[in-house]
Structure 1
């Protein structure tokens, strides 16, 4: 029998021979079995050591004769013993590789009838998005009510043909990665790939369909700069291809194509919005809540957690239930019959891509509500689909309003946060002017960071320097239009409401015509 108890010295002992495999065997390069053998008779000190490929028949024959001559034993015995050893090692390697694959393979959960019914009942419930948001909160996500539901729906879109992507933005230490990881816990393990650091070519060596409809989570975009290009291609073209040189078994050099298919949903975190502009253009930008109210919520939760007053079982049950909900969502085509009436505000930058994101997000809301939508069939192809309702559009508008507002802003998110805090401070203190030092102390901003903010705000004419009075050495600033952000917000809200109004107008004539036809038919019948 083959004894593999010692991984560095296997033993194979028969009545005639005692063989040791020094250093064990390799589990790569399955086309060969290179080993170092120590061969001797039992209880005999005459030992022969030899390195050999057990799959090479010519070298095996030479070793058989050498062993027979050195140890003084018949060649047929040595040959049979080596053949049996080779078969035993081969089977052992196959078994170990199978165990390793099984250990690395994510176990797919099969829902029981009761679990499936509970998930279906939930997806058919009234106020589904509101109930989902409450469950996300119960799973341990503190605050961030809009961002967490947006992120959850974006992650859900991985199952559609046009997945959405998101980037969480905020200062260091505000909880970007925590929010992403907590919401990602609500997605089944088999549907996500978590990445900390990845080499430049790593994406090309996934199996062709290994990433299809997967959620790719990047903890920090700064640690994945080398893969941002193939990631962008996966987002846009839904596939990536790389041509490499490869030598076949005969040594002939050939070019082969490595192709990885999408689509995928990508989520990442960063503190640097401008650096990753190409990626942010393809994604929803979720700005983390850095307000004092959010700080209080998080610190209160941390204190309860430290005091042992947080029920971890309830959090686990809520997260597990939402994972079950994700599992029963089925791929289905979504058609938005009202898409032609949906127009974005003119203030939105890069309207072509943003318009596409807006329509896709509405489809993602419809997709999540699929158990509440009647299934329809294309008359020509017979393809099954569901249709978007006005309620889906209204819910999507409420969630996406902040995102569109940020997309319409001329300044970066962190600079906007600084400006809004500055406005709040001036309003509370009934001031119209301020000094850099005064605001730096109040808002606890570094001098170099404030200088960058002020440079950006002056370039876009959000603030301006006041003329110095005689004898005054300190530079004072003032805000050019304190209400500009509220005006922009009102403009976007109005544009979104007009979309709903246009849809309502378009459906009224159809309804009135139908009623007129029914009245005419009734008169004729009477």
Structure 2
């Protein structure tokens, strides 16, 4: 590469950049780092004619280091300090231009990795999205692609990942015990999203988001393997989710010691997914996200182990798995960022039991739109009569599908207990019923339910704070006996929430049948 300002600047070998500024020849050994725009560390080899070369490592933005090098070079190579100063200043400017060019080139290359579908692949993807029973087929095909069990969670997560193409994507956090399969579910569903549309991160530093290209993350799916190790990045995560951008101003010094500011800006929107065992720590982020609780049931254990045995026996058709995964990726590629309007929105409401109803209501409506968005090949394109804006409309079938998938999410949002505590409490009640017991001790429950002491202590504190369990006898020295004060069945709570959602849809269907559907905005079709 030749710099436009100085043709003697040669970057053909990025690890051996050369710069000629007669009588000096400067080589940048090992190149320069592209990240960290507030510094420019470099190892320079400087020589002049027959003089012995000088090698020196420094930060070209550090005025003191540069001044020392100028004096050393001028003395050793018998050259004027003004010449050396000018050469280093020009080199620094050339390296700045080169670095920004490389950052933009890499970002552009990332965007250009998009797979271009053949006519046959496009037709197959369109047929898939146009055929009936799209939701059911997608759920089943996600399973055929290698996602075992988790039928509701896997489809919910897939639709949330699909929302990355919209102006306000949804977010998701997977919760569950250590080693239960949170990361596996996220990885396997994430594998069905095109590579060019996602960024997979194992660990993340606090400043990581600020050093992406300005448009590098736009409409991307960001998969974070372990949120428990990413506390430092939770704030920028919230910012890029809520404000759809993050900015940071850094102060740098030029070779003359003058300070200047550089503003780093990274634009969204983004769809963020992460896994954690610690729900309470991420309350602010959780409020912005759908919470998926991993299935820890014995039935799920059985499904996974059956699959493992079949895989070990060579009875899993891996070629078929790859084929369906590629088809699902292709369907993602042909989805367009069309606007969605829900003519039934004003008639929808969430159960009163839900905590923080404002944000949950927004999530509920947004998820219905995500379902409609996924059905865009089955929806008539319509156009606003006044603005000419193209959009598609939500149907009652979309709302029914969303209600079914959202049932567990709304149930959790209406629960005073977090997921782990609720799971323990339900197991405790079932055990007491099966054993025909009215009271229990921590030791007896721990042994029966196979839960470790530290977790049980946390669960019991929460249950007592909410008045669901109380001490009935004993003391601190010999231990306490407890009884359950509320036997409200979680299944009954689930049925209550589902009945509320079903009643709304039934009412809307009746109104539609009688021609009393809520008046829609005027539109024209083209």
1:373: Cα distance to partner?
0.3
Q: 2:404 aligns with which of 398, 404, 427?
A: 398
TM-score by length of 2: 0.79
Distance 1:49 1:7, change over 3 A: farther
User: Is 1:275 paired with 2:278?
Assistant: no
TM-score (norm: length of structure 1): 0.79
Matched, 1:339 2:348: no
Please list the CA deviations of residues 43-82 of structure 1 after superposition, one character each: whole Å capped at 9, or x if unmatched. xxxx7533499xxxxx9xx99xx99xxxxxxxxxxxxxxx
The CA distance in 2 between the partners of 1:119 and 1:468, in whole Å, is 66
Partner of 2:250: 244
SS of the residue corresponding to residue 230 of structure 2 reads helix
1:139-179 deviation per Cα after TM superposition (whole angstroms, max 9, x unaligned): 11110000000000000000011110010000000000111
Paired with 1:446 and 1:395, the residues of 2 have a C-alpha distance of: 38
Q: Which runs of 5+ in 1 are unaligned?
A: 12-19, 41-46, 54-58, 68-85, 515-526
Per the alignment, residue 169 of structure 2 pairs with 163
In the alignment, the residues of structure 2 paired with residue 198 and residue 434 of structure 1 have an alpha-carbon distance, to the nearest angstrom, of 44
**Could you tell me which residue of structure 2 aligns to residue 462 of structure 1?**
468
In structure 2, relative to structure 1, the CA distance for the partners of 1:116 and 1:190 (3 Å cut) is: same
What secondary structure is seen at the aligned counterpart in 2 of 1:347? coil
- Alpha-carbon shift at residue 202 of structure 1 (Å): 1.9
- What residue number does 2:377 align with? 371
Take 1:410 and 1:309, find their aligned partners in 2: how far apart are those partners? 45
Write out per-residue CA displacement over residues 227-255 of structure 1, whole angstroms, 9 at most, x where no aligned residue: 11011011111122222224467654333
Q: Distance in 2 between matches of 1:327 and 1:353?
A: 30
Q: 2:417 aligned with 1:411, yes or no?
A: yes
After superposition, residues 16-415 of structure 1 pair within 5 angstroms as: 24=29, 26=31, 36=45, 48-51=51-54, 101=106, 107-247=113-253, 252-415=258-421
2:513 is the counterpart of 1:493 = no
Instruction: Write the deviation string for residues 82-141 of structure 1: whole angstroms up to 9, x where unpaired.
Output: xxxx9xxx9xx99x979x949877621110111110111010111101100111101111
* Structure 1 pair 429–386 and aligned structure 2 pair: CA distance change class (3 A): same
Alpha carbons of structure 1 residues 418 and 249: separation in structure 2 relative to 1, 3 Å? same
Find 1:481's aligned residue among 461, 468, 486. Answer: 486
Unaligned segments of structure 2, at least 5 residues: 1-10, 19-24, 57-69, 79-90, 520-526
| Cα RMSD for the two superposed structures | 3.8
Provide the residue aligned with 1:521 in structure 2: none
Deviating 4+ runs (over 6 angstroms) = 4-11, 20-23, 29-34, 37-40, 102-106
Query: How many residues end up aligned between the 2 structures?
Result: 464
Moved more, 210-219 or 474-483: 474-483
Shift in CA distance, 445/390, structure 1 to aligned 2, threshold 3 Å: same
Other structure's SS at 1:510 match = coil
Distance of 1:435 and 1:357 partners within structure 2? 40
Q: Is the 8 A contact 1:234 1:262 kept in 2?
A: yes
Q: Distance in 2 between matches of 1:23 and 1:255?
A: 25
Q: 1:504 to 1:104 in 2, by over 3 A?
A: closer
Query: Aligned equivalents of 1:325 and 1:103: distance in 2?
Result: 23
Larger Rg: 1
Counterpart residue number, 2:86: none
Measured in 1, the distance between the counterparts of 2:324 and 2:17 equals 49
Instruction: Tell me if the contact between 1:341 and 1:502 (Cα under 8 Å) persists in the aligned partners.
Output: no
